[in-house]
Structure 1
Amino acid sequence: MDKTSVHPMTHIARRMYELLEPICLVTYFADECNEELAALGHRTYWDGYFASRAAPLGRVPAEVVHAAFYNFADGEAARHIPSAWETIPPEASVAARERGSAASLRRILGEELAGSPGLVRAADLTTKAATSAPMEGRMMYAGMRTLAVPSDAVARLWHSATMLREHRGDGHIAALLGVRIGGTAAHVLSALEMGIHPPESFGRIHHLPKERLAAVMDDLRERGLVDTDGRFTDAGRETKRRIEALTDELAAPPYDALTPAELDELITELEPIAAALLAERAQ
């Protein structure tokens, strides 16, 4: 990548990812969201996941959800969409996801931090960034932008952090497409970066048919990205680095809306929030 063309906010985009990702992840790892979705009548975790995350796109076919989510194997979206919406309106699933996620944040952060002026300020600045980026080519982000921003500060922080996560995810998909890395192959590269070997044992893909995983690994070997032992080659490691660098660059535009002083303030206010959430995950 030509370093002279890199977006000046690229390093900020990486730092904001580190600080905002723990806020978004309560949706998937804390209990409250799952409980809210189950109370609606969703039978499984994945019914609730697909129904609530895809809902901002509208009642689209499974093929559209598969394309937008990108990293699920063929047929996985179709097991849940549109059946998860047949008795539960998409709007109800979105609202349940927001309620549960906000409840998780309040519980984990505690009353003092969740009710602090710093969190309110973090929510306001995160929302300013999250509602300022161009939507062109950003399917999931554009869907989230159609939803009302919550008035409650904790819910607003979660909502806006999730908007930025989807914005980043849309850019990540563009970066993967640019180097012809499919969704399953992307999980293989991530597993290798995390030191997981064999990469086929990674939790996001280990359940897939062995023939499917073997085909993906064979393709990566033929392209010189992994070696015969299923480990990174130098070319594979460089490809992963390029994907992440471009993802950061494409994630930067929302932060153009904030002044340098506002960015410094936002980072300062988010640091104790992220630290508390990471500490909870580590327990």
Structure 2
Amino acid sequence: MSTLPARAERRCHNAVNPLHSCLFFSPDLGAELGKLGFEDPSAVYFATRAAAFGRVGAGTVSATFYNFNPALVAEHVPAVWSVASPEQVLGARLRAADSTLRRLLGEEIIASDEMAEAARLALRATEACTPHARPLYAAHAELPVPDEPHLAFWHAATLLREHRGDAHLAALLAAGLDPVESLVSHTATGKGMAIRWILSSRGWRRTDWEAASGRLRERGLLAAGEELALTDAGTALRAEVEEATDRMDRAPYEHLGAEGVERLTELGRGFLFTAASNGAFPAEATGR
């Protein structure tokens, strides 16, 4: 039985994770990897997120990233490693994280006691993360913790994100949701990204989207008609996916304790508000 308030781990994740993921929307990331010879945004993304694995092939990336079209992955992996080594990519990624956080948060927050406190709390939470059946988390857990507090916080946010993300994929599989069905059903909750952005960034076609929508309707999970809306059964299934993810991701937050989780959530929300106000997330990626 959990000692945390209901959904406390999910609220904390929702506050902290965007401080990790804002890097992938940052022009600083493309600029840093551009110095290494990368040009295509998909190549930048795959190399950046997969570099912790080392020189892996397309199969590993498709399996662990889950909702990307394997054909898109194969266009760039393993070719990305002929452009730059994983070690070079990881170095560029950390430099981009540094400049991105400094730009979005400002030097006062970067140097603040609150940032140092957030780093300590987030790192403490990661002490209870486990590598079993969590390949993206396990790969990133072998990377060194940066010395500067804002980068240590970003590193810890990355570990917490991948720990939960790996669990979420297990929950999607258990729910019988394939990659495109997962994207469609999540978008139908009203919390997903813009469909056009999903299709472009994940490499799927509109016909793939419509086919997945049809399969969800056949299962009684998506309402009939042109409007993208879940049925009661679909809403229940998505809720079960999130609750299963919460259960599998509870250990880091139980380890941190209710007071620590509440404080980390408070700090993360403050940082997120500032980052979002400074344009961390592009408008074209949100909405239907």
1:269 alignment counterpart: 267
Q: Within 2, Cα distance between the matches of 1:259 and 1:7? A: 8
My pick for the range that moved more, 253-262 or 167-176, is 253-262
> 1:205 aligned to 2:199?
yes
1:136 CA displacement = 0.5
Q: Which amino acid aligns with 2:12?
A: M
Q: Within 1, Cα distance between the matches of 2:105 and 2:23? A: 14
Q: Within 1, Cα distance between the matches of 2:151 and 2:261? A: 21
Q: Within 2, Cα distance between the matches of 1:112 and 1:17? A: 24
Q: Within 1, Cα distance between the matches of 2:207 and 2:269? A: 44
- 2:238 maps to which of 240, 244, 264: 240
Asked if the contact 1:123/1:156 (under 8 Å) is kept, the reply is yes
Asked if the contact 1:9/1:252 (under 8 Å) is kept, the reply is no
Aligned residues: CA RMSD = 2.2
1:193 CA displacement = 1.1
1:163 CA displacement = 1.0
Asked if the contact 2:19/2:272 (under 8 Å) is kept, the reply is yes
> 1:129 aligned to 2:125?
yes
Q: Within 1, Cα distance between the matches of 2:232 and 2:118? A: 40
The two structures have a TM-score, normalised by structure 1, of 0.90
My pick for the range that moved more, 109-118 or 252-261, is 252-261
1:41 alignment counterpart: 37
Asked if the contact 1:102/1:155 (under 8 Å) is kept, the reply is yes
Q: Within 2, Cα distance between the matches of 1:216 and 1:265? A: 40
Q: Within 2, Cα distance between the matches of 1:80 and 1:6? A: 43
SS for the counterpart of 2:199 is coil
Asked if the contact 2:17/2:157 (under 8 Å) is kept, the reply is yes
Q: Within 2, Cα distance between the matches of 1:78 and 1:174? A: 23
Q: Within 2, Cα distance between the matches of 1:20 and 1:260? A: 16
> 1:52 aligned to 2:48?
yes
Change (3 A) 1:271 1:220: closer
Q: Within 1, Cα distance between the matches of 2:151 and 2:206? A: 41
1:161-193 deviations in whole A, cap 9, x for unaligned? 011111111011011001110111111012111
- 1:225 maps to which of 215, 221, 227: 221
1:174 alignment counterpart: 170
1:9 CA displacement = 6.4
Asked if the contact 1:175/1:247 (under 8 Å) is kept, the reply is yes
2:57 alignment counterpart: 61
Change (3 A) 1:249 1:279: farther
1:95 alignment counterpart: 91
Q: Which amino acid aligns with 1:213?
A: W
> 1:11 aligned to 2:7?
yes
Q: Within 1, Cα distance between the matches of 2:111 and 2:93? A: 21
Q: Within 2, Cα distance between the matches of 1:236 and 1:200? A: 20
1:90 CA displacement = 0.8
1:8 CA displacement = 4.2
Change (3 A) 1:192 1:261: closer
1:200 CA displacement = 9.3
> 1:161 aligned to 2:157?
yes
The two structures have a TM-score, normalised by structure 2, of 0.88
Q: Within 2, Cα distance between the matches of 1:6 and 1:261? A: 14
Q: Within 2, Cα distance between the matches of 1:221 and 1:266? A: 40
Q: Which amino acid aligns with 1:96?
A: A
SS for the counterpart of 1:132 is coil
1:7 CA displacement = 7.5
1:34 CA displacement = 1.7
Q: Which amino acid aligns with 2:233?
A: A
SS for the counterpart of 2:107 is helix
1:36 CA displacement = 0.7
Percentage of pairs with the same residue: 31
Change (3 A) 1:11 1:225: same
Q: Within 2, Cα distance between the matches of 1:254 and 1:239? A: 25
Q: Within 1, Cα distance between the matches of 2:43 and 2:144? A: 23
Asked if the contact 2:3/2:258 (under 8 Å) is kept, the reply is no
Asked if the contact 1:184/1:205 (under 8 Å) is kept, the reply is no
